[in-house]
Amino acid sequence: MIKVVIFKFKKNAPIEKIKQKIESLKQKIGIIRKIVVGIDIGFNKTLSDLCVISEVENLDDLKIYKIHPEHLNLMWMKKGW
């Protein structure tokens, strides 16, 4: 099962640091099969800054991922970005 999320951050958000934190979720949340994080190349600054594509086995794993403490911690951090 694939989940795609596109983010838009505040102007001076540390995009590379955010990318690394998201990528680190694979080691912290065992049910993630694969996670790819891409930084937008910036052709259109109003669309997005970052795209996350994650893969898990099934819908139950996706639900676990969604409420996992490491994922929730990252989502709380996003509110400041």
pLDDT at 51 over 90: yes
Please give the pLDDT value at position 20: 95
Spell out the domain ranges in the chain: 2-78
According to the CATH classification, is domain 2-78 in 3.10.129.10?
no
pLDDT at 38 over 90: yes
The answer to whether 29 touches 68, Cβ cutoff 8 Å, is: yes
Please give the pLDDT value at position 54: 97
CA distance 22 to 44: 23
Decide: pTM greater than 0.75.
yes
